[in-house]
């Protein structure tokens, strides 16, 4: 009878360790899977051609990803530029200044914001942001604009990126030991001087990691940008021009994927591009955070 | 004994959330002498020190009543400017806490806070105070290395230099040598003995022998209450209270 | 005195910036919820949640989004169950059978953390590739597998963190009473970690139900309730998207109502996760 549970234990060990290994490997499996599916187009065209050409005519077999890459870049840049200052300032406030009760209310609200699905952000974007940007462009600047633009997508994305930057920054700030703050105060510094000169200084690499994770999130976001970015196949040249980010490209065209030769490989390549960039960014951010957690200054 | 008072504590009471950490403390800390606050752990020694430089403000859910008068002015009066008060006090904490910057910047941190920018003046201050802490010889050539690279004994001397650089009148030490090896401890004790000619020094310690080496005046606290206080010699050789006697004999610790 | 005023000024300036940022961020949440509520509530009706789209629904016809509500629930539930069946052994493996400093464990954890940030559209594309590979059509099953892949890293890591917080002594006690590692894991570890596990499942469920990009290619869409695992199934995010895409204003209003339904479900899940966590903490040792 005792044998039974010992056997069960051994089996459980094999199973779980195997699954742990599998979990580690899934990342590579996905990468390889995408690569395999994208292979036809990678073999047929040069990488330079794919990345830098603006000719997107799938019917003719021309796949220049430049407009989409630029679209993604512009929208991500706007989102990050908008999100980072607000996020870091909010995190600083909640961590260093806010009364315990305010923090108890605000922190869950930030987490709730993180849970709102992409479509809902998109729909709100269509409802509230598009008209605002349209009137901003046309009434204030006199630029023709439908309202579906880089700026619109950037604003919506910024709100989606804030929660993650705030969350990670809060954790990093919490990890700064209190005695360093006390020392600064004891030398006669004001709270702000302490925050600026000591706390931020110690937390800076961690905040960098938080920003990188935010960039990553903005990069791969699909539904919300699909609904507000405009989806015109042309690299954007101003904040008010429409953009066609890579995720939107994939989402919009999966229907035609199988009817045009090499179209599926092209879209898989787009997915692969997103995958590689996000993995590199996230891995870098994680490494920085791990390094910090080990207590190296 | 010429006992000019530097710090006067009047009816000081400190309440943490549920506990009454300091009960009705009334003491006069003498000027330019080393006062040692003795007592078993948890008796409120660190709390008292935190009241002197108003670091008690940073603790959540704390209530302070009473007065702490320095040169006649109450530290806890509503008009008191806290950063000025803290400038008058230099704190050496239990574990050395170097700021995340170079050795030079650590010492220059305080003066810079209070507005000093000129490079030449800062250089002079850094050198002067590193010498006072007797660390200068060991770091002269590498002032711009991160402070974290110093040994723990050196770090504590750096903290001393840093605290002195703001030009305090009073030095507070919260068990300043308990994290150090004997040699470094001796170093720090030596500095205190030299510094008392110019500064009023208040040290919290639970090392009886250290107290005997350093103290001019002794204050004995137990469970937040002031049991007894007086000149060192009297306190060590002929204490009036039963509890003080037991503590000095090493029975309660 | 002048220098001193500068410091105060700088401090107050940044204080205003900080409080302002906090207000803007938390205010946006309120703003978004309010907009959805304002435009969606008037368009809500019992029909919306109780019937499937009838003919011409997307052009203003009768019906509701029951197909999408049921579809999303099935997708999220199926995916959560599948992910749970995989996450539990992985978390047990990481915390019970592998040593603390094991290379395999660090590698797996790192890998899962990175996976956590992979965009859902990539999972969708990969899921689609898998579908083609296995000869599956766009269906509930394909959707479940893809969403399971999406939420697997989240669930794994959340469970892993909870298990890590269980004090080692507790496991030691169990072992010194003669339990095998498996017995200790199943009887003590999971019980102590129960609130955390529940939270992990609820969070993952919430993530799975709201995601569109992963089900876009893989689950298909249908105006009817799915008849089997192999039939295409509607989902709430896509229902919202399709309704918004029509030029008819009534249908667009229904899109907001659908968004309201989805958001409410997710908010309830969030709150439910916190409540469940507190309620289940009865037995655990703090």
The pLDDT value recorded for residue C75 is 94
pLDDT at residue A297 is higher than 50: no
The pLDDT value recorded for residue C282 is 66
User: Six-digit token pair at A241?
Assistant: 């021009």
User: Six-digit token pair at A86?
Assistant: 């607000």
The pLDDT value recorded for residue B1 is 46
Residue A180 sits at the chain B interface (C-beta within 8 Å): yes
Q: Do B58 and A185 touch (CB under 8 A)?
A: yes
- For residue C183, the chain A residues in CB contact (below 8 A) are 5, 9
Q: Which residues pair with B199 in a beta bridge?
A: none
Q: Using the 8-state DSSP alphabet, how is residue B67 labeled?
A: E
User: Six-digit token pair at A142?
Assistant: 């006199």
Examine residue B207 and state whether it is found in any structural domain, yes or no: yes
More confident residue, C239 or C276: C239
Instruction: Report the distance separating Cα B91 and Cα C75, nearest Å.
Output: 61
The pLDDT value recorded for residue A139 is 86
pLDDT at residue B253 is higher than 80: no
Closest by Cβ to A247, choosing from C97, C182, C213? C213
- Among A234-248, C12-26, C157-171, the range scoring the smallest mean pLDDT is C157-171
The pLDDT value recorded for residue A70 is 92
Q: Which residues pair with C179 in a beta bridge?
A: none
Cite the DSSP H helix spans in chain A: 2-44, 47-52, 66-92, 100-115, 118-124, 130-135, 150-175, 178-186, 191-194, 200-220, 223-228, 246-253, 263-293
Largest CA distance in chain B: 57
Instruction: List pLDDT tens digits, range A172-206.
Output: 998 888 889 999 999 988 889 899 999 998 899 89
Examine residue B35 and state whether it is found in any structural domain, yes or no: yes
Closest by Cβ to C90, choosing from A23, A120, A124? A23
Domain ranges in chain A are 49-293
If one counts every other C-beta atom within 10 angstroms of the C-beta of residue B226, the result is 21
Q: How far is CA C268 from the centre of its chain?
A: 12
More confident residue, C83 or A110: C83
Average pLDDT, chain C: 86
Q: Which residues in B have their CB inside 8 Å of a CB on A?
A: 53, 55, 58, 60, 83-84, 86-87, 89-91, 93, 95, 97, 99-101, 109-110, 113-114, 146, 148, 159, 162-163, 166
Per the structure, the complete domain to which residue B84 belongs is given by 5-99+168-248
pLDDT at residue A160 is higher than 50: yes
Instruction: Report the distance separating Cα A165 and Cα B35, nearest Å.
Output: 49
Instruction: Report the distance separating Cα A29 and Cα A22, nearest Å.
Output: 9
pTM to 2 decimals? 0.84
Instruction: List pLDDT tens digits, range A230-262.
Output: 888 888 888 899 999 999 999 988 777 778 878
Residue A115 sits at the chain C interface (C-beta within 8 Å): yes
User: Six-digit token pair at A268?
Assistant: 């898989």
Look at residue A53 and give its three-state secondary structure: coil
CATH class of C50-282: mainly alpha
pLDDT at residue C153 is higher than 70: yes
CA torsion, points B235, B236, B238, B240, in degrees to nearest 10?
40
Q: How far is CA A18 from the centre of its chain?
A: 31
Instruction: List pLDDT tens digits, range C197-246.
Output: 888 899 899 989 999 999 988 998 888 888 888 999 999 999 998 888 88
Residue C67, H or E segment: helix C66-92
Instruction: Report the distance separating Cα B97 and Cα A3, nearest Å.
Output: 56
Examine residue B243 and state whether it is found in any structural domain, yes or no: yes
More confident residue, B72 or A79: A79
Residue B200, H or E segment: strand B200-204
- How many CB pairs below 8 Å do chains A and C form together? 260
User: Six-digit token pair at B23?
Assistant: 């009960």
Residue C3 sits at the chain B interface (C-beta within 8 Å): yes
Sequence-distant (6+) residues with CB within 8 A of C200 are C87, C154, C155, C158, C159, C162
Count of domains forming chain B = 1
Instruction: List pLDDT tens digits, range B180-195.
Output: 888 889 888 999 999 9
Instruction: Report the distance separating Cα C69 and Cα C58, nearest Å.
Output: 16
Residue C276 sits at the chain A interface (C-beta within 8 Å): no
Tell which phi-psi region holds residue B80, choosing left (phi > 0), alpha (psi between -120 and 50) or beta: beta
Write the ipTM. Answer: 0.88
- For residue C3, the chain B residues in CB contact (below 8 A) are 114-115
pLDDT at residue C84 is higher than 70: yes
User: Is residue C261 very low, low, confident or very high in pLDDT (cuts 50, 70, 90)?
Assistant: very high
pLDDT at residue B35 is higher than 90: yes
Phi (first) and psi of residue A145, to 5 degrees? -160, 140
Which of C205, C247, C240 has the alpha carbon at shortest distance from C221?
C240
Closest by Cβ to A12, choosing from C18, C21, C182? C182
Q: What is the mean pLDDT of residues B165-177?
A: 91
pLDDT at residue C61 is higher than 80: no
Tell whether domain A49-293 is in CATH 1.10.3720.10.
yes
The burial of A47, by beta-carbon neighbours within 10 Å (0-12 exposed, 13-18 middle, 19 or more buried), is given as: exposed
Q: Which chains touch A (3 or more CB pairs under 8 A)?
A: B, C
- For residue A295, the chain B residues in CB contact (below 8 A) are none
Examine residue B113 and state whether it is found in any structural domain, yes or no: no
Instruction: List pLDDT tens digits, range B60-75.
Output: 788 999 999 988 789 9
Q: CATH number of the domain at B93, please.
A: 3.40.50.300
pLDDT at residue B2 is higher than 60: no
Average pLDDT, chain A: 88
Residue position matching structure tokens 């910024």 = A158
Going by their DSSP bridges, the two strands B20-30 and B89-92 should be labelled as unpaired
Instruction: List pLDDT tens digits, range A206-231.
Output: 999 999 989 988 988 899 999 999 88
């Amino acid at each position: 009878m005792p044998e039974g549970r010992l056997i069960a234990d051994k089996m459980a060990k094999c199973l779980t360790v195997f699954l742990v290994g599998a979990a580690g490997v899934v990342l590579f499996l996905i990468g390889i899977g995408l690569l395999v599916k994208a292979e036809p187009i990678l073999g047929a065209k040069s990488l330079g051609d794919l990345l830098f050409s603006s000719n997107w005519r799938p019917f003719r077999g021309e796949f220049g990803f430049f407009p989409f890459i630029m679209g993604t870049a512009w929208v991500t840049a706007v989102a990050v530029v908008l999100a980072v200052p607000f996020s870091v300032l909010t995190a600083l406030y909640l961590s260093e200044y806010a009364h315990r009760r305010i923090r108890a209310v605000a922190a869950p609200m930030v987490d709730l914001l993180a849970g709102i699905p992409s479509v809902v952000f998109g729909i709100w974007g269509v409802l509230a942001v598009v008209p605002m940007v349209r009137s901003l462009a046309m009434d204030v600047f006199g630029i023709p604009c439908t309202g579906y633009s880089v700026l619109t997508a950037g604003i919506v994305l910024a709100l989606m990126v804030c929660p993650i930057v705030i969350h990670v920054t809060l954790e990093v700030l919490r990890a700064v030991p209190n005695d360093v703050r006390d020392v600064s105060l004891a030398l006669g510094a004001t709270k702000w001087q302490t925050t600026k000169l000591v706390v931020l200084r110690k937390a800076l690499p961690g905040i960098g990691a938080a920003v990188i994770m935010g960039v990553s999130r903005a990069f791969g976001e699909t539904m919300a940008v699909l609904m507000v970015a405009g989806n015109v196949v042309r690299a954007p040249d101003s904040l008010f021009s429409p953009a066609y980010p890579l995720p939107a490209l994939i989402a919009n065209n999966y229907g035609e994927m199988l009817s045009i030769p090499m179209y599926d490989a092209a879209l898989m390549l787009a997915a692969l591009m997103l995958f590689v960039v996000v993995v590199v960014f996230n891995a870098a951010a994680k490494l920085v955070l791990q390094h910090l957690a080990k207590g190296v200054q | 004994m010429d006992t000019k008072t530097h710090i006067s504590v009047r009816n000081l009471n400190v309440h943490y959330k549920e506990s009454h950490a300091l009960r009705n403390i009334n003491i006069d800390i003498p000027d330019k002498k080393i006062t040692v606050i003795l007592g078993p752990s948890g008796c409120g020694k660190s709390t008292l020190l935190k009241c002197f430089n108003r670091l008690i403000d940073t603790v959540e859910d704390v209530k302070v009543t009473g007065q702490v008068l320095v040169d006649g002015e109450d530290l806890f009066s509503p008009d008191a400017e806290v950063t000025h008060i803290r400038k008058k006090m230099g704190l050496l904490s239990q574990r050395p806490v170097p700021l995340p910057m170079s050795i030079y910047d650590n010492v220059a941190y305080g003066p810079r806070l209070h507005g000093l920018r000129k490079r030449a003046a800062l250089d002079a201050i850094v050198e002067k105070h590193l010498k006072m802490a007797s660390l200068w010889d060991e770091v002269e050539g590498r002032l711009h290395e991160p402070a974290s690279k110093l040994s723990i004994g050196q770090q504590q001397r750096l903290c001393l230099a840093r605290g002195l650089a703001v030009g305090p009148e009073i030095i507070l030490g919260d068990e300043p040598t308990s994290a150090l090896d004997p040699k470094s401890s001796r170093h720090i004790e030596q500095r205190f003995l030299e510094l008392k000619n110019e500064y009023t020094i208040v040290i919290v310690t639970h090392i009886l022998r250290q107290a005997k080496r350093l103290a001019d005046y002794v204050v004995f606290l137990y469970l937040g209450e002031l049991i007894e206080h007086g000149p060192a010699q009297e306190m060590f050789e002929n204490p009036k209270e039963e509890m003080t006697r037991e503590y000095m004999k090493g029975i309660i610790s | 005195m002048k220098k001193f005023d500068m410091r105060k000024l700088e401090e107050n300036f940044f204080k205003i910036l900080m409080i302002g940022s906090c207000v803007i961020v938390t205010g946006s949440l309120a703003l978004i919820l309010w907009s959805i509520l304002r435009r969606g509530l008037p368009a809500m009706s019992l029909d919306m949640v109780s019937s499937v789209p009838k003919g011409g629904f997307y052009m203003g016809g009768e019906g509701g989004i029951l197909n999408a509500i049921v579809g999303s629930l099935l997708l999220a539930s199926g995916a959560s169950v599948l992910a749970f069946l995989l996450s539990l052994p992985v978390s047990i493996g990481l915390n019970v059978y592998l040593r603390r400093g094991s290379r395999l464990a660090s590698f797996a954890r790192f890998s899962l953390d990175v996976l956590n940030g992979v965009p859902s559209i990539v999972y969708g594309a990969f899921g689609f590739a898998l579908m083609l590979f296995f000869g599956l059509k766009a269906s509930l099953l394909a959707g479940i597998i893809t969403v399971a892949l999406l939420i697997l890293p989240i669930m794994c890591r959340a469970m892993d963190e909870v298990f890590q917080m269980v004090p080692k002594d507790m496991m030691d006690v169990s072992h010194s009473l003669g339990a095998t590692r498996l017995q200790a894991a199943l009887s003590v570890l999971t019980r102590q970690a129960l609130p955390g596990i529940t939270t992990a499942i609820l969070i993952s469920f919430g993530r799975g139900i709201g995601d569109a990009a992963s089900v876009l290619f893989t689950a298909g869409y249908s105006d009817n309730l799915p008849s089997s695992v192999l039939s295409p199934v509607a989902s709430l995010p896509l229902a919202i998207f399709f309704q918004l895409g029509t030029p008819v204003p009534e249908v667009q209003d229904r899109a907001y109502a659908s968004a309201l339904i989805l958001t409410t479900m997710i908010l309830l899940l969030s709150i439910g996760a916190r409540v469940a966590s507190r309620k289940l903490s009865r037995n655990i040792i703090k």
